[in-house]
Structure 1
Amino acid sequence: MTLTSPDRARTDVWSDATLLYALEEVVERELNRHLGVAKEWMPHEYVPWSDGRNFDGIMGGDAWAPDQSKVTDVGRISLVVNLLTEDNLPSYHHEIATLFGRDGAWGTWVHRWTAEEGRHAIVMRDYLLTSRAVDPVELERFRMQHMSEGFEHDHRHSMVHSVAYVAFQELATRVSHRNTGRQSGDPVCDRMLARIATDENLHMVFYRNLLAAALELAPDLALRAIRDVVVEFRMPGHGMPGFERAAARMAIGGIYNLRIHHDDVLQPVLRHLKVLEISGLGPEGLQAQQELGMFMGGLNEQATRFDERREAMLARRAARG
């Protein structure tokens, strides 16, 4: 569907409801494409069950101790953050089901996405407990606290904002999982997280293609949403216990930081959509495009300063042995 040039730049032509309806065919097409390329996989096949043994408590096993873990310190921190993020799936499902609906292609996608995401928490928890990678008591207490607080998207009342957010967030999650696996020090963990990252990449492609269609239909509206999401971006786990401290450790450890966020998450999506090259915009779209370009330039400078500080810190640590 392509609108005439004068109408394409007008945001008043579109509401969430009209854009939701207009994108139905795109959702159906992307859903069929996704189902054609997604591979079935079994969580239990990625868990080293033979390594497991009883914990202390009613089973009378051994209490957990840090030296039982095969993963690195930063790997353990990141695994907890990533799992707690996946644990909040009921809240995420509620958010997108409320915005996208439960009928037609939109509803089918919502349920399919939820089912696929559910496997991620299953396999990660089974791995962590079987391999004794993390403290199971602390993990459960964190889960209860995090899920009890729920999750609300920063732009929860806007469908196009939500599409824009998940296009970036799914890629951010993929990158975080993949880097965690590489930094974990355990080949079993790396293989498991690589499998999860493959799912996350397919989810990103679905939402990115949907966002591309929104840009074609309502460029001003979509560009404003992209600008808002990029400038105000926060990972969905930002409210979990100890997130800021954990995020700092993950940043220094090279799992997720400003440079990675700029180079491996924001830039690939913006470049693929050619967001900064779109022409024929109205005043609001043009302003959003300009502000987005300025923000990305500033973020790159911040990332460069972070890189310099990180390298200096790592050099000092290496010098101290």
Structure 2
Amino acid sequence: MVMMSGLAAYCSLSMTTTGTAPLSWNTRAPPARLAFQRRRRMSTITATVTCRRESAMTAPEKADVLRSLDGWAESNLLPLLKPVERAWQPHDLLPDSASPGFREAVDELRARAREIPDDYYVCLVGNMVTEEALPTYHAALNSFVGYDSPSSADAWARWSRGWTAEENRHGDLLNRYLYLCGRVDVRRVEQTIHHLINAGMRLASDKCPYRGFIYTAFQERATAVSHGNTARRAMALGDASLARICGAIASDEKRHEAAYTRVVDQLFALTPDAAVRALEYMMRERILMPAYYMFDGRDPDLFRHYAAVAQRLGVYTTADYADLVQFFVDRWGVADLGPGLTGEGRQAQDYVCRLPERVRRMDQLDARRRLQPQTRQVPFSWLFDRHVELLT
């Protein structure tokens, strides 16, 4: 999913771990919870302090632009949804519980799972937890255009419901696989999902639908990258069935990315100044992953640790983020925007066009640092407190 599933250590420039001392796992739960809540409050305060309007258009006016595209959405978004009869379901990719050979199939799944290292499961659980916070994402998506009636027949509402229905399969599929494989502490994972839905997400859109759709386009592409990389890694580790699971989700995310990218295409075509300034705003705020507030009840830095593992394994990296920014700058023709931009719009254009190279330079500095890596071990409650190596 998106928003952002997803994605993996789907974070941005801050996704690499810092050199802080390892967490003490003798710390009681209340201090950890307080530290987590403090970090959440501070990120919200930062977003409020840095907030600024990116154009003279108000959020309601931007919502009106999107509502005027209802007929366009009917022709350009809804065809990207697959009919239920043709869509894969989690049951198709897992052992058939009604089959006489169910136990043998599960035994084979568990045997393959035993050969996969713990760090891979950190990434897989993180992806699944992100996908399972779907209620938060559905509510956010409905807020972009202002349609939240479950019975509405307009194209935007039908897209929202159809997108949610397709995304719902992702968490179900990964959750059932992780339940069957026997490699993770399922109850602790379930608590993490519970905490994440309770915590919500930081979507620095300030009720601006342009920013919201830009965020969603980025998240869908990041999620596709993350699930695609977990699929390739599973295949390299010899588990073709797990590769199919991750690959099916990645394929969905690519279709969803195409939809949200098309929406932003239209915003750039109709209101380029407002669109490029919304893009600059989101880039300055950073595209934080929707699972940024994940918490297992013990580790207040759980997301950062998960992201650091994903970075080390190449599941989602700073280089991937730079590629994402470059892709959208090119796709939306940011460098070619000319007449019609205000002075602030031209400044936004310059900032966004320079950003991919800035991110790549940061990644190169990190790569030099990693030539002489320092590592530390962090226990993950998802893995029954087994330790996983992080780069620091």
Q: Identify whether the pair has TM-score above 0.5, normalized to the shorter chain.
A: yes
Conserved 8 A contact 2:63-2:144:
no
**What is the count of residue pairs matched by the alignment?**
293
- For 1:46, which of 93, 100, 119 is the aligned residue? 93
Conserved 8 A contact 1:74-1:249:
yes
1:87 corresponding residue in structure 2: 132
- For 1:234, which of 288, 305, 312 is the aligned residue? 288
Amino acid at match of 2:344: E
Cα distance in structure 1, aligned partners of 2:288 and 2:139: 19
Shift of 1:156: 4.7
1:210 corresponding residue in structure 2: 263
Query: Is 1:245 aligned to residue 305 of structure 2?
Result: yes
The alignment partner of 1:256 has SS state of coil
1:22 corresponding residue in structure 2: 68
The alignment partner of 1:313 has SS state of coil
Amino acid at match of 1:40: A
1:261-272 matches, within 5 Å, as: 261-263=321-323, 265-272=324-331
Cα distance in structure 1, aligned partners of 2:137 and 2:249: 17
Amino acid at match of 2:367: D
Amino acid at match of 1:17: A
Amino acid at match of 1:192: I
Moved more, 44-53 or 186-195: 44-53
Cα distance in structure 2, aligned partners of 1:48 and 1:74: 24
Cα distance in structure 2, aligned partners of 1:68 and 1:41: 23
Query: Is 1:279 aligned to residue 335 of structure 2?
Result: no
- For 1:295, which of 344, 355, 379 is the aligned residue? 355
2:220 corresponding residue in structure 1: 170
Query: Is 1:200 aligned to residue 253 of structure 2?
Result: yes
RMSD, aligned CA: 2.5
1:75 corresponding residue in structure 2: 120
Q: Deviations over 1:226-275 (max 9, x none)?
A: 11223311111111121101101110111111111112x22222212221
Conserved 8 A contact 1:70-1:131:
no
Shift of 1:188: 1.5
Q: Please, which runs of 5 or more residues in structure 1 have no aligned partner?
A: 1-9, 54-63, 315-321
Conserved 8 A contact 1:86-1:121:
yes
The alignment partner of 1:240 has SS state of coil
TM-score, normalised to structure 2, is: 0.69
Shift of 1:30: 1.7
Cα distance in structure 2, aligned partners of 1:12 and 1:157: 12
1:182 corresponding residue in structure 2: 232
Amino acid at match of 1:44: H
Amino acid at match of 2:74: E
Cα distance in structure 1, aligned partners of 2:166 and 2:307: 26
Conserved 8 A contact 2:95-2:106:
yes
2:244 corresponding residue in structure 1: 191
Shift of 1:84: 0.8
Cα distance in structure 1, aligned partners of 2:354 and 2:113: 48
Q: Deviations over 1:206-242 (max 9, x none)?
A: 0001100000111011111111223311111111121
TM-score, normalised to structure 1, is: 0.84
Shift of 1:160: 0.7
Conserved 8 A contact 2:81-2:162:
no
Shift of 1:127: 0.9
2:373 corresponding residue in structure 1: 313
Shift of 1:75: 1.4
Cα distance in structure 2, aligned partners of 1:13 and 1:176: 34
Between Structure 1 and Structure 2, the one with more helix by share is 1
2:175 corresponding residue in structure 1: 125
Amino acid at match of 1:75: Y
Cα distance in structure 2, aligned partners of 1:89 and 1:285: 34
1:57 corresponding residue in structure 2: none
Amino acid at match of 1:81: G
Amino acid at match of 2:332: L
Cα distance in structure 1, aligned partners of 2:366 and 2:354: 19
Amino acid at match of 2:350: Q
The alignment partner of 2:175 has SS state of helix
Percentage of pairs with the same residue: 28
Q: Please, which runs of 5 or more residues in structure 2 have no aligned partner?
A: 1-54, 97-101, 296-301, 375-392
Conserved 8 A contact 2:334-2:353:
no
Cα distance in structure 1, aligned partners of 2:248 and 2:131: 15
Residues 226 and 43 (structure 1), Cα distance of their counterparts in 2 relative to 1, 3 Å cut = same
- For 1:114, which of 164, 169, 172 is the aligned residue? 164
The alignment partner of 1:176 has SS state of helix
Amino acid at match of 1:308: R
Shift of 1:311: 4.7
